[in-house]
Chains A and B, each alone.
Chain A
């Protein structure tokens, strides 16, 4: 017990140090090229920003494979050294939370009633003795079996425990003990035992719970009776939609036993239930694909990649490796894959191709504009965020002005530097932008016009000279107006705010629209990254390309998640 705790704590340290070390940025994609279009690159290079103690081996291996070019890492090094991460870059939320340290007491779990778990099977007297020593409130058999499962004891110990229980209860073993024993067997891959328990359960119970089914499926797929796992899946379907994990196990089983058709059928079924497949499942298809030389199969794999693209899923590091190896194993088409990053200009360092633009297509843009108007601003009850009168006033205001270049969230910008007066900050930012001959829109609330210690009238008048302003009521929300004004102005219009707009994104009904919104936000949101209000205001760089699985027919670019970086849902991978 203590040993494991110690291990855990040291691991925690390792994890932290890794995070601090390896929060590199820069974009790395798997870049895959064919050579039948004559685009054959001589130099191959490989870039990894993270320097963590754990994958140095892998790195050196890959470095041995790849010739290293010295010029490519300059731009990326700059990014690593910059202390602020991009708003939507993987790991930045984690970093932000570390910047504002909270008193986080890592309390150790209270010392529990510890019994030395038996390492060898015991006989009934010894079990009796153990039970006497134990002084807990719960049922001893339950507790000890959970402990056995938790510390992954050997199957024999659990077996002896069951024998003892059966001897006590005239040969009857409770269901929960059986399930725990089963999970141990599955963990230790004791297929014969799993089958025995399966027989017992089939005889004893008409139906099991989902945990039991899951374990049985996991156990049976390794045996030659793997088809019965599919029957169990049918049993689950009678009551509920099976989990992606269940499907994952069944598909793995089918692939293990070379039954590709069943695997694909299950995969289609999984999609038809609107479940999101586990990345493990997709990885299994790619891993299996190496040995198959079949056009149909490869087309289906390409479809999986399109699925990743449509749903903005990013493979993990090992999955990215599998994809790479599968592509390189395709006969006749000499694919070459590298792990690279994307430059700021949106060009892949591996092949120099330009990535897909972050901008939405006109149809998507119109669609999103309508949705924002209908869901975010109106939302079925115009009084919630604004009033109809105000909405009409705003729409007139937008119509009567020519399109803006930048829409500023006045309150958000003004409150960025707590030590300075709000109106001063706002007028500084506005004048800085006005010098660049940009058409500005400042959105605010009416209380900003009331002269006070925080809002000086003369400064506000200066703002109104340099920019067109719209002041909403004090109890209205200003963000929806900001969004709509920016979208109404067109594709070139940017917004300035630190707000991540997650609540407004949540107002959009379906996932697809949310993704469009996120894409638009990535391309159009400027964030001021100054710590101090100096002469020059620095904005966060906006990526010119979209981070998504993409293809040009003869090449694929696939972003992936590193194993050592945590990513929030509103961030995109940098690799």
Chain B
């Protein structure tokens, strides 16, 4: 094929203007006639003479345009590029994009390599989809940024005009340094927590059970929960236990936090949680636990496994707690919520918010507001015991309605006296 192209290429430029041969002209007229009387369906017949439909005409013309366009491309690119799997993959992704599939517009070498390393077809598709969604998000953010910048510029113009109109001295109490002030205040508080706060342990021993994607999610959730803790009135003293230096976890954390990592007010150790705290005080929180957490105890050390499980490994954290012979508890979700759909494993930041809320208020209804509302239908109105009590009251009321009325009369009389 390429040979023919090369052969035709020198002539292509001359041919383009004269593509319509004499035959073609005749055909054009016949086709036009046929289209004018469109009620007669075009019958497909094996005879090429009749059947060279308009589409073919178009496509032939279009072929020549194509050849002239390809000519420039091919002359720059070597033919060995065809053999290169990377280039072929790039081409494939491009065709997929033409088909309107969810694939990214731009893809760099590293991503291509990851794509090639994906084991199966479906994993490749998933990865491309992920890239596509990420790219779309970036684009949308960019657009929003531009819109905001334009609005800001317009607002600035307006304010400038206003300030020129009225140049008044205004008296303020504070300089505008809120963010910094807030940060320092938070840091003081977290520093206090490091000295006197209740420990809350994140168990980092699950790095072997996670794929890169889960790892990313875990890091994100960890940083979110650290943020919630910092903003709280009475923060926990966070421990990252079993954090191997130069492990995958550690690298990801450093990558995420950058320079801030050394300035974080938390304790990161390679030690196990059993070495740090007495065993009797540790409570391992896991959704698989048979024991339900009734109250938040301020003298216990709660442990959360920092583990995002996307591929069905039930009982991993329970097994770990069993091995270390630790007490385990789970949140009383079924008791307080009418559970709808979804996994009872909550994310790390949700757990953090629930625990902080329990620590400060102690009411489960308040704390379980942080459970995603999509997962449950609503709160249990009254617990079963009190429901029975209420129904008993109602029954007695119905039974004693008459004497009750007379009693009321009596009381009124007494009042009068």
**Chain A: residues with CB nearer than 8 A to chain B?**
120-124, 126, 142, 155-156, 159-160, 162-163, 166-167, 171-176, 179, 190, 192, 196, 200, 202-209, 211-212, 238-241, 243, 381, 383-385, 387, 474-475
Q: A126-B38, A171-B59 are in contact. List 10 more A-B contacts (CB 8 A).
A: A162-B55, A171-B62, A172-B62, A172-B65, A174-B98, A203-B63, A203-B66, A209-B96, A209-B101, A240-B121
Given contacts A166-B55, A238-B88, A387-B322, contact A156 B62 (CB under 8 A): no
- A160 cross-chain contacts in B, Cβ below 8 A: 42, 53-55
Kindly specify which of B236-244, B311-319, B350-358 makes contact with the partner chain: B311-319
Do residues A167 and B58 form an inter-chain contact, with CB atoms below 8 A?
yes
Do residues B38 and A123 form an inter-chain contact, with CB atoms below 8 A?
yes
Do residues A196 and B92 form an inter-chain contact, with CB atoms below 8 A?
no
- A384 cross-chain contacts in B, Cβ below 8 A: 315-316, 318-319
Q: Give the nearest-CB partner of A119 in chain B.
A: B41
Q: Give the nearest-CB partner of B1 in chain A.
A: A202
- A172 cross-chain contacts in B, Cβ below 8 A: 62, 65
Min CB distance, B80 to chain A, in Å? 13
Going nearest first, the 9 A-B pairs with the smallest beta carbon separation are: A383-B319, A166-B58, A171-B62, A163-B54, A175-B98, A123-B35, A207-B91, A120-B41, A384-B319
Q: Digit string of B64-82 for contact with A (CB within 8 Å is 1, else 0)?
A: 0111001000000000001
Do residues A176 and B100 form an inter-chain contact, with CB atoms below 8 A?
yes
A485–B39 CA distance with the chains assembled, in angstroms = 80
Is B320 close to A, CB under 8 A? Answer: yes
Min CB distance, B79 to chain A, in Å? 11
A208–B96 CA distance with the chains assembled, in angstroms = 8
Number of interface residues of B (CB under 8 A): 46
Given contacts A156-B42, A173-B59, contact A383 B66 (CB under 8 A): no
- Name 11 A/B residue pairs within 8 A (Cβ), A-sorted: A159-B53, A162-B59, A172-B62, A172-B65, A175-B99, A200-B59, A202-B1, A204-B63, A205-B91, A238-B85, A243-B121
Across the interface, B62 reaches (CB within 8 A) one of A121, A166, A179, A240, namely A166
Is B46 close to A, CB under 8 A? Answer: yes
Do residues B100 and A475 form an inter-chain contact, with CB atoms below 8 A?
no
Q: Give the nearest-CB partner of A209 in chain B.
A: B95
Is B290 close to A, CB under 8 A? Answer: yes
Min CB distance, B222 to chain A, in Å? 24
Do residues B41 and A383 form an inter-chain contact, with CB atoms below 8 A?
no
A282–B100 CA distance with the chains assembled, in angstroms = 35
- B54 cross-chain contacts in A, Cβ below 8 A: 159-160, 163
Is B56 close to A, CB under 8 A? Answer: yes
Do residues B53 and A474 form an inter-chain contact, with CB atoms below 8 A?
no
Do residues B320 and A204 form an inter-chain contact, with CB atoms below 8 A?
no
- B66 cross-chain contacts in A, Cβ below 8 A: 203-204
Q: Digit string of B216-251 for contact with A (CB within 8 Å is 1, else 0)?
A: 000000000000000000000000000000000000
A287–B48 CA distance with the chains assembled, in angstroms = 35
- A383 cross-chain contacts in B, Cβ below 8 A: 319-320, 322-323
Is B389 close to A, CB under 8 A? Answer: no
**Chain B: residues with CB nearer than 8 A to chain A?**
1, 5, 35-36, 38-39, 41-42, 44, 46, 53-59, 61-63, 65-67, 70, 82, 85, 88-89, 91-92, 95-96, 98-101, 121, 124, 290, 315-316, 318-320, 322-323
- B124 cross-chain contacts in A, Cβ below 8 A: 240
- A123 cross-chain contacts in B, Cβ below 8 A: 35-36, 38
Across the interface, A121 reaches (CB within 8 A) one of B41, B319, B320, B322, namely B41
Do residues A173 and B62 form an inter-chain contact, with CB atoms below 8 A?
yes
Min CB distance, A123 to chain B, in Å? 4
Q: Give the nearest-CB partner of B31 in chain A.
A: A163
- B95 cross-chain contacts in A, Cβ below 8 A: 175, 205, 207-209, 212
- B59 cross-chain contacts in A, Cβ below 8 A: 162, 166, 171, 173, 196, 200
- A120 cross-chain contacts in B, Cβ below 8 A: 38-39, 41-42
A211–B99 CA distance with the chains assembled, in angstroms = 10
A173–B56 CA distance with the chains assembled, in angstroms = 12
A203–B62 CA distance with the chains assembled, in angstroms = 10
Q: Give the nearest-CB partner of A476 in chain B.
A: B322
- A385 cross-chain contacts in B, Cβ below 8 A: 315
Q: Give the nearest-CB partner of B318 in chain A.
A: A475
- B41 cross-chain contacts in A, Cβ below 8 A: 120-121, 156
- A124 cross-chain contacts in B, Cβ below 8 A: 35
A243–B122 CA distance with the chains assembled, in angstroms = 12
Do residues B55 and A163 form an inter-chain contact, with CB atoms below 8 A?
yes
- A381 cross-chain contacts in B, Cβ below 8 A: 316, 319
Across the interface, B99 reaches (CB within 8 A) one of A159, A176, A238, A474, namely A176
Interface centre among B99, B100, B316, B323, by most chain A C-beta atoms within 10 angstroms, is: B99
- B101 cross-chain contacts in A, Cβ below 8 A: 209
Min CB distance, A278 to chain B, in Å? 16
A172–B320 CA distance with the chains assembled, in angstroms = 63
Do residues A142 and B100 form an inter-chain contact, with CB atoms below 8 A?
yes
- B55 cross-chain contacts in A, Cβ below 8 A: 159-160, 162-163, 166
Do residues A209 and B92 form an inter-chain contact, with CB atoms below 8 A?
yes
Min CB distance, B309 to chain A, in Å? 13
Q: Give the nearest-CB partner of A200 in chain B.
A: B59
Do residues A179 and B99 form an inter-chain contact, with CB atoms below 8 A?
yes
Q: Give the nearest-CB partner of B82 in chain A.
A: A206
A326–B63 CA distance with the chains assembled, in angstroms = 48
Do residues B315 and A239 form an inter-chain contact, with CB atoms below 8 A?
no
A299–B217 CA distance with the chains assembled, in angstroms = 55
Do residues B44 and A156 form an inter-chain contact, with CB atoms below 8 A?
yes
- B99 cross-chain contacts in A, Cβ below 8 A: 175-176, 179, 209, 211
A106–B269 CA distance with the chains assembled, in angstroms = 57
Q: Give the nearest-CB partner of B323 in chain A.
A: A383
Do residues B53 and A156 form an inter-chain contact, with CB atoms below 8 A?
yes
Do residues B92 and A207 form an inter-chain contact, with CB atoms below 8 A?
yes
Do residues B320 and A171 form an inter-chain contact, with CB atoms below 8 A?
no
A209–B88 CA distance with the chains assembled, in angstroms = 11
Do residues A203 and B38 form an inter-chain contact, with CB atoms below 8 A?
no
Min CB distance, A503 to chain B, in Å? 10
- A208 cross-chain contacts in B, Cβ below 8 A: 95
- B57 cross-chain contacts in A, Cβ below 8 A: 163
Across the interface, A474 reaches (CB within 8 A) one of B44, B96, B290, B315, namely B290
A564–B53 CA distance with the chains assembled, in angstroms = 44
Min CB distance, B322 to chain A, in Å? 4
Interface centre among B58, B89, B124, by most chain A C-beta atoms within 10 angstroms, is: B58
Do residues B46 and A206 form an inter-chain contact, with CB atoms below 8 A?
no
A207–B86 CA distance with the chains assembled, in angstroms = 12
Min CB distance, B59 to chain A, in Å? 6
Do residues A162 and B58 form an inter-chain contact, with CB atoms below 8 A?
yes
Do residues B53 and A163 form an inter-chain contact, with CB atoms below 8 A?
yes
- B44 cross-chain contacts in A, Cβ below 8 A: 155-156, 190
A156–B290 CA distance with the chains assembled, in angstroms = 68
A243–B315 CA distance with the chains assembled, in angstroms = 36
- A121 cross-chain contacts in B, Cβ below 8 A: 38, 41-42
Given contacts A121-B38, A122-B38, A384-B315, contact A239 B65 (CB under 8 A): no
A278–B158 CA distance with the chains assembled, in angstroms = 71
Do residues B290 and A192 form an inter-chain contact, with CB atoms below 8 A?
no
Q: Give the nearest-CB partner of A122 in chain B.
A: B38
Min CB distance, B369 to chain A, in Å? 30
A166–B63 CA distance with the chains assembled, in angstroms = 12
A155–B98 CA distance with the chains assembled, in angstroms = 22
- B1 cross-chain contacts in A, Cβ below 8 A: 202-203
Q: Give the nearest-CB partner of A162 in chain B.
A: B55
Do residues B38 and A239 form an inter-chain contact, with CB atoms below 8 A?
no
A212–B91 CA distance with the chains assembled, in angstroms = 13
- B42 cross-chain contacts in A, Cβ below 8 A: 120-121, 156, 159-160
- B61 cross-chain contacts in A, Cβ below 8 A: 171
Min CB distance, A93 to chain B, in Å? 22
A455–B199 CA distance with the chains assembled, in angstroms = 42
Q: Give the nearest-CB partner of B314 in chain A.
A: A384
Min CB distance, B75 to chain A, in Å? 14
A384–B46 CA distance with the chains assembled, in angstroms = 70
A474–B322 CA distance with the chains assembled, in angstroms = 13
- B36 cross-chain contacts in A, Cβ below 8 A: 123
A8–B101 CA distance with the chains assembled, in angstroms = 29
